Amino acid sequence: MLDQHLATRDFLFGENPSMADIPLRSSAYRWHSMEFERPDLPNVNAWSNKLIERRGYREKGMIPLN
């Protein structure tokens, strides 16, 4: 569902990240950190990478699991 939503936009609500992207990406970060087979979600991966490119998100939004 998320992959389909992101097919027409860069972030959840358009061209710019919002407060909605941060908690959802945090959940996706944890989900991607677990070891199990996942479906191919190219739009979710592109969205995730766009957030990771942002220095502020890397420093504050990607807290290690340990």
pLDDT along the chain (66 residues), means of 10: 96 94 85 84 95 87 69
Which residue, 10, 5, 6, is CA-closest to 51?
10
Q: What is the pLDDT of residue 34?
A: 80
Residue 10, CA distances (Å) to 6, 21, 38, 40, 41 in order: 6, 10, 22, 18, 14
Q: Is residue 5 within 8 Å of 46, Cβ to Cβ?
A: no
